Amino acid sequence: MQQPNILLITTDQQRADCLGVARSAHPVMTPHLDQLAWEGVRFTRAYSDCPLCIPSRTTIMTGRPAYQHGVDTNGEFRIPEQPQDTLPGRLGAAGYQTHAAGKMHFHPPRNRNGFERMRLLPEDYVNWLEQAGYGGMYRGHGMGGNEVHPVFSAVPEAYTATSWTVEESIGFLRQRDTEAPFFMWTSFEAPHPPFDPLESYVRLYDSIAMADPVAGEWNGESAPQWVRHRRLSRKLDLLSEQVVRAARKHYYAMITHIDYALGRLLGELKSQRLWEDTIIVFASDHGEMLGDHGLFHKSCFYEPSAKVPLIVKPARSTPLPLPAGSVCDSPVLLADLYPTLTQLTGCARSGDDAREGRSLLEAMEPGGERRVLYGYIQDEGGLYMATDGSWKYLYYAQDGREQLFRLVDDPDERQDLSGADDEQSRAVLAEYRVRIADQFAAHGLTDGEGALQLGMADESGSDERRHRTANPFAWRGPIHHGGHW
């Protein structure tokens, strides 16, 4: 029997609660993804260990969290893995045809990293736009890649990056060698800013009530220094309620457009009679704060940023431990995708134990051991996270600030329990301090005098003017042709 095909679908910056099937406060319409969840298993506690684009994509490619592979911030980083050992490289060596369509965010961009063929966004997409008569219209509305101000698409639907990504994926399915299995990574650029959906998708949400952003009780002058600086440096405190509300609506519309486009891709699988023999994984590289706690973008470990949607639909030859339509609430990482897919395809090797990612099949088994996930971002001295899905501990090296949230009772992280007097909170806080100190001992973290220590806090950042004038992604309104971030 031929090995199962694999379709990995990722979005960029999609929150875990922005799926229709999640039934959250976000009224997002995603009928095709909802159906995929009913035919597979949906993971409700999936996390990005480093919620940034390049680190997360490196994690998917290697099965290693950022604190293991070393790419712990955005920048011009090569994937620290030999091409034959990346996920597509491993599958290619086993006879798979491998194809990447959409946003890969590799450096250099044309580095294949184990893929046989690639159609990249923005590089190939921009060239295609020029040939189609829309030269210069990639972000032709003038908004850059981290702008919050909502606008509409500068091109018709057939010429959007979302539609192009699906068409390139369908093209591969029609041109492939039907005698060999395939691994295709379909990677959407949306709903990453700019928030520029087609107006027709925005109109779908005109009559739907929008929930207000979440505001934590801790989120004032006593908020972690990183949070206060982020609001100032990106001018998020200057956004009006109207802009925030419109940005959320445009964000939902971009996700609905992706879902609509996915209907064509999933329909192509069915028309070619590939559905039953294809493993489909849907995920996002990280989430989006979307105004919660006064923040936009990602780069932190609050739930909207660090938690990601994750759905796995098996092929008929690779049944999962849980039946179709199940929900798994075990904590898992994006790093777990690599060992999951190599296990399901028989491509696992003995040396893979060195990768910290674990197969999702283990998470689906009943009675498994309690797993604590860790995260690290190289920013402002370091942001650290530890969570078992029920509790979450955060540490900011910049000012030594700690936060503790009981997620089972407070999924929106409104109440910081790091200073609570109850016995349980104090015990959990002490446990997680030790866990973080042990996990990141190489960073110089020590559990000293009842609190983590990592050098001295940087108090120089308290100058509001410096943070308003030295910001890299200011909300500055339209700029010519935007930028590529």
Q: What is the percent of the chain with per-residue pLDDT over 70, rounded to a whole number?
A: 92
Please report which confidence band the pLDDT of residue 452 belongs to, taking 50, 70 and 90 as the band edges: low
Q: Cα separation of 459 and 179, whole Å?
A: 62
> In this structure, which amino acid lies at residue 34?
D
Give residue-wise pLDDT tens across range 71-123.
888 876 777 888 899 999 999 999 999 999 999 987 777 888 889 999 999 99
Give residue-wise pLDDT tens across range 163-219.
999 999 999 999 999 999 999 999 999 999 999 999 999 999 999 998 999 999 998
Please report which confidence band the pLDDT of residue 465 belongs to, taking 50, 70 and 90 as the band edges: very low
CATH class of residue range 5-364: alpha beta
How far is residue 118 from each of residues 90, 110, 172, measured CA to CA in Å?
17, 8, 10
DSSP assignment string, 159-227: GSHHHHHHHHHHHHHHHS-TTS-EEEEEE--TTSSS----HHHHHTTTTS--PPPP--TT-STTS-HHH
- pTM of the predicted model over 0.85: yes
The chain-wide mean pLDDT, for the chain, equals 90
Give residue-wise pLDDT tens across range 332-347.
999 999 999 999 999 9
* Greater model confidence, 225 or 453: 225
Do residues 183 and 281 make contact, with C-beta atoms less than 8 angstroms apart? no
Please report which confidence band the pLDDT of residue 476 belongs to, taking 50, 70 and 90 as the band edges: very low
DSSP 275: G
Q: What count of other Cβ atoms lies within 10 Å of the Cβ of residue 76?
A: 7
Q: What is the pLDDT of residue 16?
A: 98
Domain spans of the chain?
Answer: 5-364, 373-469
Please report which confidence band the pLDDT of residue 474 belongs to, taking 50, 70 and 90 as the band edges: very low
Mean pLDDT of 36-42: 98
248: closest CA among 380, 101, 150, 318? 150
State the architecture of 373-469 in CATH terms.
2-Layer Sandwich (3.30)
> In this structure, which amino acid lies at residue 166?
V
Give residue-wise pLDDT tens across range 318-371.
999 999 999 999 999 999 999 999 999 999 988 888 899 999 999 999 887 789
Mean pLDDT of 404-412: 97
Q: What is the pLDDT of residue 222?
A: 86
Q: What count of other Cβ atoms lies within 10 Å of the Cβ of residue 207?
A: 6
